[in-house]
């Protein structure tokens, strides 16, 4: 038997139905089993009984009861089993420490590499949340995720080191007091060169992606992103600075594809047939969480951290003659 888990809802998950949240975190758990856990009050949200259709909010805490491994993973779905906890070793701590951009008593800011999942899921054997177990202290606390990045996306990831800091940071995300800037390389040149993308997005469960939906559709959530073209290499590709105002799953990727300028290397959303990338550009997602500005949970000033480009994106910047080092992030950041 494993112990009780308490998982905090991130800003990216706000508005999700509880059953879909469970499907994301525990893909092998059958719906019937979940219903039983809910009926008996073993699963709770902020200490209260809930049902499968309950909409969860940022900062709420979901109680996960002790379950045997085969309860977490229903027998017919073992191919999509949530992995058993890995044995912790020094390499977990060392790998996370190598990602650290900033750290103090209350927060830790990482530069997550592309390809590393933030949380567990189907078929995953290694993910950041599991690696953070190596940092669990004598009080049983470990750094908490307060938001997420897609597995393929690199860059800034903010962690809270105390419960109080987690509550403060979550409140800032909920109140949209956070400024998150992403860099991307996209196909073509968006016109106008600065703009606002506003759509409703809903999950396309069959294709494991987000789709543009109509207002009023089930699970459709309003999503807003700002973009600004920093530089372009002729009409072929553009370096774009992006700012998500809302925090939906795959929001920036879906939005750029929606306006006809998908992000290079995106396996789910790149939708231009017979398009060829410039020579030497790697077929990896060119989306990077470049910078975050957020009130420090101590109440003293703001936290402002930037992350250098990953190797595959830096290679593309070099090939196209773009100089990230001379870019003033405040010059071209999208504004409200």
| Active-site annotation, residues | 150
Q: Where are the alpha helices (DSSP H) in 132-236?
A: 163-174
Alpha carbon of residue 335 to chain centroid: 22
Enumerate helices (H) and strands (E) in the chain, giving the number of each.
9, 15
CA atoms of 34 and 71, how far apart (whole Å):
10
Angle made by CA atoms 117, 283, 291, in degrees to the nearest 5 = 55
Going by C-beta distance under 8 Å and a sequence separation of 6 or more, which residues neighbour residue 182? 153, 155, 241, 242, 243, 244, 252, 287, 288, 289, 290
80-107 b/e with 16+ CB inside 10 Å = b? ebbbeeeeeeeebeeebeebebbeeebb
């Amino acid at each position: 038997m494993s112990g009780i888990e308490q998982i905090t809802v991130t800003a990216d998950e706000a508005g999700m139905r509880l059953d879909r949240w469970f499907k994301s975190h525990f893909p092998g758990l059958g719906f019937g089993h979940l219903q039983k856990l809910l009926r008996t009050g073993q699963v709770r949200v902020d200490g209260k009984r809930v049902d499968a259709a309950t909409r969860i909010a940022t900062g709420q805490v979901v109680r996960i009861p002790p379950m045997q491994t085969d309860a977490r993973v229903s027998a017919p779905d073992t191919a999509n089993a949530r992995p058993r906890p890995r044995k912790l070793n020094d390499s977990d701590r060392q790998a996370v420490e190598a990602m650290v951009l900033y750290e103090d008593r209350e927060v830790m800011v990482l530069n997550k590499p592309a390809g590393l999942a933030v949380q567990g899921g189907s078929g995953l054997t290694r993910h950041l949340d599991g690696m953070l177990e190596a940092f669990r202290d004598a009080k049983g606390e470990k750094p908490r995720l307060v938001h997420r990045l897609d597995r393929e996306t690199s860059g800034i990831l903010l962690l809270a080191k105390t419960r109080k800091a987690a509550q403060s940071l979550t409140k800032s995300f909920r109140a949209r007091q956070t400024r998150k800037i992403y860099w991307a390389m996209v196909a073509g040149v968006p016109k106008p060169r600065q703009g606002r993308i506003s759509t409703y997005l809903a999950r396309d469960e069959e294709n494991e992606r987000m789709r543009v939906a109509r207002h009023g559709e089930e699970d459709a959530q309003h999503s807003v992103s700002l973009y600004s073209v920093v530089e372009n290499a002729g009409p072929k590709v553009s370096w774009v600075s992006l700012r998500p105002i809302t925090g939906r799953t795959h929001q920036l990727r879906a939005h750029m594809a929606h306006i006809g300028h998908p992000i290079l290397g995106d396996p789910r959303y790149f939708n231009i047939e017979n398009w060829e990338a410039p020579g030497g550009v790697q077929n990896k997602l060119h989306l990077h969480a470049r910078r975050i500005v957020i009130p420090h949970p101590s109440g003293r000033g703001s936290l402002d951290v930037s992350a250098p480009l990953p190797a595959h994106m830096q290679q593309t910047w070099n090939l196209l003659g773009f100089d990230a080092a001379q870019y003033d992030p405040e010059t071209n950041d999208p504004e409200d």
